[in-house]
Structure 1
Amino acid sequence: MTAPLRLVIFDVDGTLVDSQGHIVASMTAAFQALGAAVPTREAILGIVGLSLDVAVPRLAPTLSGAQHGALVQGYKDSYRRLRLAHGAAEASPLYPGALEALQRLAANDDVLLGVATGKSKRGLDALIEAHGLERMFVTRQCADFHPSKPHPSMIHAALSEAGVDAANAVMVGDTSFDMDMAQAAGVTGIGVTWGYHAPAALTAATDIVQDFDALHSTITTHWSLPV
């Protein structure tokens, strides 16, 4: 009997790469350029994973729509400058063990990999290219084409594009937005502890793992894959 195709969907910021330095710097620059009070580092990291048009109003609920738009554009401009100045790989380095975990999963013929992120397509493509991951993911879902997490649209599209049933997919992420999105899409959510939300916030996760070795073990056990 042929094994069904499986799909592991990864969040990006806070799960595969540690981009917090440039995220905080770019959001800080955007608020400063507008002359608005800069949110705390904790508040900024708390909205990572949301699309910018949703994240910014949460950070600055008393500002106008026009001001929100200026903040979104200011953030994009600042982040782009930092990426060009430092390179995407330096701006968003892979977490230790991330590449090896991706390679181990991809070595299984019946396992496909994808990403679902609040990044723009341009930012995601630049990051994937910088890390040499162009052939790693069969599906790339980003903020340009979907409602913000935790809406399940990204996962639905990933499943359709990969040709995989929801029962044979898992979503790996560091935020409550990722786990709530997984739950809404009917796929298993695996939370990671090294990202930007506290593990206690990942209430919709089926499992929570401490490192990439534990992630691999959890996925292989879940699907009875070869170790």
Structure 2
Amino acid sequence: MRLRNKPWAKEKIAAYPQYIIPNPEQYKGRWHEVFGNENPIHIEIGTGKGKFITEMAKANPHVNYIGIELYESVIVSALDKLIEHNLPNLKLLNINAKELANVFAMGEVARIYLNFSDPWPKKRHEKRRLTYRSFLALYEQILVDEGEIHFKTDNQGLFEYSLVSFSQYGLLLTFVSLDLHRSDFVGNIMTEYEEKFAAKGNRIYRCEVKYPSKKR
């Protein structure tokens, strides 16, 4: 993905600490204090311009959402949406997904959304894919028992790779669609990429998986 540089992005992010949380490590294990309630926490990794996470927060006020985006020049678009709607159940983090275990305690997150992640198609870049086993292990650390991953992509290769990766890790497949927009799935909220790809007639793939219970 080619990003347009926005030199003013860092300053704007710093101006809205109530929306894009600075130094999020200080809230590890204490995110319910940030939201002021005990509602479940759902995170989106690679939140992009924020359409999905904003619409989810508007539709589900009983859930706390955290959008995670690495690139400053992208997350400012999500920030604009949050400023406009001022949703009390949505926060943003400008961090690398590799830092998740430093930001969230064990069992602090109920669900993870991965939407249209970079496919990193070259074999030498496999470890960068957000469905690679090292990321699955990282997610397991922060998810509740039987926590879920909801995954969408237009990339067939990444989808097939991810299904194999989920299976090899021992995750349980609870939903799969090979053509989401021509299925009977109800309640789909699209991302910016999804709208773009769907308008071109691209097939959208979606699955839900959960970690097996650790309770005996």
Q: Which bracket does the TM-score occupy, shorter chain normalised? A: 0.3 to 0.5
- The structure with more strand, counted as a fraction of residues: 2
Tell me the TM-score normalized by structure 2. Answer: 0.41
Q: Highest relative contact order (Cα 8 Å, sep 6+), 1 or 2?
A: 1
Tell me the TM-score normalized by structure 1. Answer: 0.39
- The structure with more helix, counted as a fraction of residues: 1
